[in-house]
Amino acid sequence: MKKKIKVFAPASIANLGCGFDIMGMALDEVGDVLEMSLDEAGEGIAITNETDVPLPEDIEDNVITPVLRKFFAMTGHAGRVEVRVLKKIYPGSGIGSSAASSAAAAFGINELFGAPLGEEDVVVCAMEGENLASGGYHADNAAPAVMGGITLIRGYDPLDIIKLPVPGNLYCPVIHPHLMVSTKEARSILPKEIPMHTAITQWGNVGGLVAGLCTGNIELVGRAMRDVVAEPYRKQFIPGFDELREKLLIAGALAMNISGSGPSVFALASRSDLAQKAAAIMERHFLQHGIQFESYVVKVSNKGARLIA
């Protein structure tokens, strides 16, 4: 008998400024939707794209495939899985497009078989998709896309994911300027070593960010969300980056950073009206630079991958 489900997994923001490769947060409502069906008597994987977003024709190049294979390898289960991609975040946007598909596929296949894997192992499956997309086992998008909320990867070997509290009033204007920045390129320009004083500044900020989230001190969260490791090199890809941040902070935003490896940029605000104001400033900024964009204002969400039908 064929089982069929519909799964959603959210977009996410990796790094959160100072937490390069170790922190991420899930966004509400923006994300990927997959319809998945299982025939335990059959075999093979089929993926069809029902969206306007171009996806690889060959299933070997689709992030969903290695995720499903990892699930089968970890559990010993087998069957034919058919996936219809119904909604897709644009790839290369910097808000966890590959992680959203990977997380939805990992969560969905686990549900179809009665949830034999725990949440952390579902993230391990999703990381296979991230590896295909960017050549590395990062969980900074995959963990929040599966688990929701704000996650800290305390360690990768072994994987140790900590879910941090999400203060109730965190709003996030996110803008995706239509600029081409590949994660590979954005990583290749980073230095392999950093000076001690840079490391001290960064780990002070990571500690401050975690403390701010745990105590609900939003001003501390904003103050700590500063990146001295990757941003100095990556901001060159975003026209007028420093000027935009200054305008946003004057208008009451708590912080502004690059989302993941870019080109999306996000700000943080403690009120919905301040978030809307920040979004309008971001939109005007990119219009003035002649750059098209998509813009969202989202609440940081505790909900991760989930069934929607």
Question: Which sequence positions are flagged as catalytic?
Answer: 130, 183
Residue 141 as a binder of ligand HSE (CB under 6 A): the answer is yes
Q: Toward ligand HSE, which CB reaches closer, 15 or 270?
A: 15
Residue 133 as a binder of ligand HSE (CB under 6 A): the answer is no
Tokens describing residue 49: 């794209």
Centroid of chain to Cα 55:
18
**Per-residue H/E/C for 80-100:** EEEEEEEECCCCCCCCCHHHH
Helix residue ranges, H only, 136-195: 142-147, 183-188
User: From edge to edge, which strands make up the β-sheet containing 171-177?
Assistant: 255-258, 265-268, 171-177, 293-299
Query: Measured from the CB of residue 82, what is the shortest distance to ligand HSE in angstroms?
Result: 29
Query: Measured from the CB of residue 200, what is the shortest distance to ligand HSE in angstroms?
Result: 20
Q: Give 122-126 contacts, CB < 8 A, sequence gap 24+.
A: 122/146, 122/305, 123/147, 123/159, 123/161, 124/70, 124/74, 124/159, 125/67, 125/70, 125/71, 125/74, 126/67, 126/99, 126/102
Binding track over 236-265 against ligand HSE, x by CB under 6 A? ------------------------xx----
- 85-90-92-94 Cα dihedral, nearest 10 degrees: -110
Tokens describing residue 265: 């940029």
Residue 176 as a binder of ligand HSE (CB under 6 A): the answer is no
Query: Measured from the CB of residue 230, what is the shortest distance to ligand HSE in angstroms?
Result: 6
Query: Measured from the CB of residue 197, what is the shortest distance to ligand HSE in angstroms?
Result: 21
What is the chain's alpha carbon radius of gyration, rounded to the nearest angstrom? 19
Q: Is 132 helix (H, G, I), strand (E, B) or coil?
A: helix
Q: Is 150 helix (H, G, I), strand (E, B) or coil?
A: strand
Q: Toward ligand HSE, which CB reaches closer, 99 or 305?
A: 99
Query: Measured from the CB of residue 20, what is the shortest distance to ligand HSE in angstroms?
Result: 6
Question: CA 253, CA 37: separation in Å to the nearest integer?
Answer: 43
Indicate which single residue of 3, 5, 6, 21 sits in contact with ligand HSE (rule: CB under 6 A).
21
Residue 84 as a binder of ligand HSE (CB under 6 A): the answer is no
Query: Measured from the CB of residue 131, what is the shortest distance to ligand HSE in angstroms?
Result: 11
Stretch that binds ligand HSE, among 14-22, 44-52, 116-124, 289-297 (CB under 6 A): 14-22
Stretch that binds ligand HSE, among 133-141, 162-170, 240-248, 280-288 (CB under 6 A): 133-141
**# of chain residues touching ligand HSE (CB under 6 A):** 13
Indicate which single residue of 12, 15, 110, 205 sits in contact with ligand HSE (rule: CB under 6 A).
15
Of the chain, the end-to-end C-alpha distance in Å amounts to 18
Indicate which single residue of 77, 187, 223, 289 sits in contact with ligand HSE (rule: CB under 6 A).
187
Question: Which positions touch ligand HSE (CB under 6 A)?
Answer: 14-15, 20-21, 138, 140-141, 183, 186-187, 230, 260-261
